[in-house]
Structure 1
Amino acid sequence: MKLRPALTAVALLLAGLACHGPSADASRYPVDTTTIGPGQQLESAPGWYADAVIYHVWVKAFADGAYSDGIGDLPGLQGKLDYLQSLGVNTLWLSPIFECDNKGASMHGYDTTDYYAVNDRFGTKADLKNLIDAVHAKGMRILFDFVPNHTSTKHPWFTNAATRDSWYIWNAGQPAGWGLPWGGGTPQDVWRSGASGYFYTSFSTDTLADLNFYNPAVQAEMQKVQAYWLDRGFDGMRVDAVRYLCEAGPGQQADQPDTHARLRIFRSLLDEYNTGDLHPHPGGDPAKHAAR
């Protein structure tokens, strides 16, 4: 039985590493990030993220632009770049912007149904390209929220029998000893009834299912997703539920060596792009990523 965890552990992989505090070596990071004037460029160095001033944008609630529907969107965010830059911000971290299941009042975006599509409540891929280009034109950078730990149970990978059984984590029953990855809970919280038995979910819900990171096909697909958006101009990513990619058993659902190994793979791909230069992309090895 292959196992793997979830939850919303928060880690930033900015151009490839967890976010640290400001560097003590001021000579290495000469840009004064407390005041970023129009057109001022971030330092072109692989360690740019160590001194970045990062603003987390909850896109849904930030600025309603072109669509005037009461929901924040990508054109609305683009229209606020001067304001954000005036605050000293030089890096934007977007909340999840990809297609998801719940698009109602409680829409959060962590229930992905398509990793390669932009949530149509926020705009189009053209809107996203315009935003990324505008961010870079101001010498700023932009990060996406990467949610590899789990998908919506409405995702085609979960509804299609060809991928459902091996891409997710299943058990014939609700085995004793299991609970929530962060402590407490019962087997019934994390093992939910589905088409192939009981599927594992870190979030005690019938609507999210953990992906099986012991399956090489899942690992390869998540790297493909990562490269797809880096190739389109994102400068890095925040990784959701980063502690819970692999479960070794009950009570061993966080910070496992197998999880760390998967994160090193994500990091190695980010390092291909982390030249320190502002984009546009593609970055890394264009030939390697051409098929994505």
Structure 2
Amino acid sequence: MKTLKLTLSTLLVAIVFSCQETTSEEKVVSEPVTEIQNDIEKVEPPHWWIGFKNQNLQLLVKHPNIGKATPKMSYQGVSIIKVHKADSPNYLFLDLEISETAKAGQFNIKFQHEDGSELIQTYELKSREKPAEDYVGFDSSDAIYLITPDRFANANPQNDSVEGLLQQGIDRTDNYARHGGDIQGITKYLDYIEDLGFTAVWPSPVLINDMPNGSYHGYAMTDFYRVDPRFGTLDDYRNLADDLRSRNMKLIMDQVANHCGLEHWWMKDLPFKDWVNYQDLYEENIDNWDWKVTKTSNHRRTTNQDPYASQIDHREMSDGWFVSSMPDLNQRNPFMANYIIQNSIWWVETLGLGGIRQDTYPYPDKTFMSQWAGAIMTEYPNFSIVGEEWSYNPLLIGYWQEGHENKDQYDSNLKSTMDFAMQKHIVDALNEEESWDKGLVKMYEGLANDFAYTSPKDIMAFLDNHDKSRVFTEFNGDVANTKMALSYLLMLPRIPQIYYGTEILMDDFDNPGDHGLIRTDFPGGWEGDTINAFTGEGLSDAQKEMKSFLKKILNYRKTSEAIHNGKTMHFAPQDGVYVLARFIENETIVHVINKNETPIEIDLNYYEEIGLKGKTLKNVITGNTMVWDESLKLNKKGSVILTTKL
């Protein structure tokens, strides 16, 4: 597998550098940098590091008529291998080779024009802050707290509105306007998140979305190297990462390789004729293009696997614009491909990330996505990436996971994918009346599908997120069902993700599924809120009890080797009761789901395979102990969690 990853990660470089010019072996003397010079409008990545396995770096240079200039530089261990002109005269792409002898430092790149004029850009190579092996990603020992930053907490009202951006101000009465939450708001309440028992935080994107409307969600990026100033600064982002790391917690970055925002700076001057997909429709119909571009996407993601898919269907899925305000990036353009890969690595290194969540994973070119993931995992062998595949079909979920034996020989290099199928199984199982083929059997058979997965415990499972209706709404306000669903989720051989506010029964009853309502403000995150979920002030008894319930399970889960790495055994549901066990050498934990509204007694002899006869177990929620003997009485609907750890 490592050989495959290395091959994939270097494939793009081979494409770009296929016409490399040979360089002499003579010693290069570095020219000292006496002062920082920034004559060029834009150079990306804005800086880089020494010590990567891949010694090639490609710089995007943007400046009026820069295509007519000749770049030169002199720095020990770094050389310009090739210069590429773009279709637009305002771009150059420079292929640099950074050898093992290169040292951290600054050097000037000079851009000389035929008339003798010269522009100078100072570029910096940095030392890496820690070894590649120390970038440890999320895994089944983690519990992830997903946050929509604009709706979590407003710690810095001074950045609510930033002059010069297309969307101004905040309006908390409008579900689709900006509400003012920011990065500092997440950092401010890390004590709360840690105390609940979470070990990782996944904020939806905080890079700039300079869009005229709907800019709050973060998925229409207009600069891939700039934090949205309404969320804060790069320093704020780094402070969040550092604070999490100091707590032995991880920051997961939400990235988007499929599309950008329509107002991205390059849309006004695209470097190549094929920089974005269906670029001809955009450029030729600039005044009346909306419906044409939108029509290009059919969202039929199964064309990635379908052996009978027509070429037109596949093209409309992979190349079509996600929505009319999000241009689809063409990863088959090798310069775009390198740009996306380098951007991801830049953020891993800049923030010391503990993982990446890749949005709309099946929509980009799938060959590129394998190369993208392979390039990252080659540099960071202990890292983690999860891809969003919104499918309820386990066959599709399994297809995208690294090592799956696909008939088309495709290997994604993707460690984790998202378990939408399990989410649906859990919701259906608890909402339906019990029968031989409905109810808890849906949950049971959903987990039985793990035979199809290469590594089930590396799949990310969830009950709700920023795109799906709140789980409390899915259960029509049934607290017991919500508890059973959450406790089951946290017992599974999976990486669990929980959406902010689930712990206090946040809902979207007024308009189920409405994105703006799903992403409701977290109470207490704004000055003057009458309810404060951080302190518990104003919460109902049911909300307080739910928070306590979830906190106890999460904090137990933190140190439970049986849940992190143990074997799994479950028993087909009987009489509205479903039993699942996780066990490892010195720990067994049993999860019992009971859908009966009236008391029921279950025969524990049926579950003798678990090996608990005569042992004392503790109830994780109540703290009470019991001896596993002949029977167990369940007095009410709900879940019971029993452990041998006393």
67, 77, 98: which one aligns with 2:157: 67
| CA shift for structure 1 position 178 | 5.6
Please say if residues 57 and 92 of structure 1, whose CA atoms lie closer than 8 Å, have aligned partners that are also in contact.
Answer: yes
In structure 1, the residue corresponding to 2:139 is in which secondary structure? helix
1:230 corresponds to = 348
2:298 corresponds to = 180
Alignment of 1:152-231 (within 5 A): 152-163=261-272, 165-170=273-278, 179-182=297-300, 200-203=320-323, 205=324, 207-231=325-349
| CA shift for structure 1 position 91 | 0.6
| Partner Cα distance (1:75, 1:172) in 2 | 42
Alpha-carbon distance change, 151 to 179 in structure 1, aligned in 2, over 3 angstroms: closer
| CA shift for structure 1 position 105 | 6.0
| CA shift for structure 1 position 117 | 0.4
Aligned length: 205
| CA shift for structure 1 position 102 | 2.8
1:264 partner letter: S
Alpha-carbon distance change, 172 to 93 in structure 1, aligned in 2, over 3 angstroms: closer
Q: Does 1:267 align with 2:386?
A: no
Alpha-carbon distance change, 225 to 162 in structure 1, aligned in 2, over 3 angstroms: same
Q: Mean Cα displacement is larger for which, 118-127 or 69-78?
A: 69-78
Structure 2-normalised TM-score? 0.29
Alpha-carbon distance change, 270 to 161 in structure 1, aligned in 2, over 3 angstroms: closer
Alpha-carbon distance change, 209 to 179 in structure 1, aligned in 2, over 3 angstroms: closer
Backbone CA RMSD of aligned residues = 3.0
Q: Does 1:243 align with 2:362?
A: yes
2:237 corresponds to = 128
In structure 2, the residue corresponding to 1:92 is in which secondary structure? strand
| Partner Cα distance (1:117, 1:140) in 2 | 24
2:240 partner letter: L
In structure 2, the residue corresponding to 1:117 is in which secondary structure? coil
53, 57, 82: which one aligns with 2:143: 53
| Partner Cα distance (2:354, 2:185) in 1 | 20
Q: Which has the larger radius of gyration?
A: 2
2:509 corresponds to = none
| CA shift for structure 1 position 46 | 5.5
| CA shift for structure 1 position 96 | 0.7
In structure 2, the residue corresponding to 1:167 is in which secondary structure? coil
| Partner Cα distance (2:138, 2:373) in 1 | 15
| Partner Cα distance (2:257, 2:320) in 1 | 15
Please say if residues 102 and 108 of structure 1, whose CA atoms lie closer than 8 Å, have aligned partners that are also in contact.
Answer: no
Alpha-carbon distance change, 75 to 274 in structure 1, aligned in 2, over 3 angstroms: farther
| CA shift for structure 1 position 208 | 1.2
Alpha-carbon distance change, 103 to 92 in structure 1, aligned in 2, over 3 angstroms: farther
| CA shift for structure 1 position 106 | 5.7
Please say if residues 261 and 327 of structure 2, whose CA atoms lie closer than 8 Å, have aligned partners that are also in contact.
Answer: yes
Alpha-carbon distance change, 103 to 71 in structure 1, aligned in 2, over 3 angstroms: farther
Q: Show CA shifts across 1:142-166 (max 9, x none).
A: 0111011011121122221434x22
Which structure ranks higher in relative contact order (CA pairs < 8 Å, sequence separation ≥ 6)?
A: 1
Please say if residues 143 and 238 of structure 1, whose CA atoms lie closer than 8 Å, have aligned partners that are also in contact.
Answer: yes
| CA shift for structure 1 position 267 | 2.1
Please say if residues 102 and 109 of structure 1, whose CA atoms lie closer than 8 Å, have aligned partners that are also in contact.
Answer: no
Q: Does 1:76 align with 2:185?
A: yes
Alpha-carbon distance change, 117 to 244 in structure 1, aligned in 2, over 3 angstroms: same
Structure 1-normalised TM-score? 0.63
| CA shift for structure 1 position 226 | 0.1
| Partner Cα distance (1:153, 1:105) in 2 | 12
2:232 partner letter: G
| Partner Cα distance (2:297, 2:137) in 1 | 39
Q: Does 1:99 align with 2:212?
A: no
| CA shift for structure 1 position 47 | 6.8
1:14 corresponds to = none
Alpha-carbon distance change, 90 to 225 in structure 1, aligned in 2, over 3 angstroms: same
| Partner Cα distance (1:228, 1:50) in 2 | 26
2:633 corresponds to = none
2:277 partner letter: I
Please say if residues 157 and 167 of structure 1, whose CA atoms lie closer than 8 Å, have aligned partners that are also in contact.
Answer: no
Q: Mean Cα displacement is larger for which, 44-53 or 236-245?
A: 44-53
2:369 partner letter: L
Alpha-carbon distance change, 96 to 45 in structure 1, aligned in 2, over 3 angstroms: closer
| Partner Cα distance (1:109, 1:46) in 2 | 25
Q: Show CA shifts across 1:17-69 (max 9, x none).
A: xxxxxxxxxxxxxxxxxxxxxxxxxxx89574233101111100001113364
Alpha-carbon distance change, 106 to 114 in structure 1, aligned in 2, over 3 angstroms: closer
| CA shift for structure 1 position 109 | 1.2
Of all paired residues, the percent bearing the same amino acid is 27
| CA shift for structure 1 position 239 | 0.5
In structure 2, the residue corresponding to 1:235 is in which secondary structure? coil
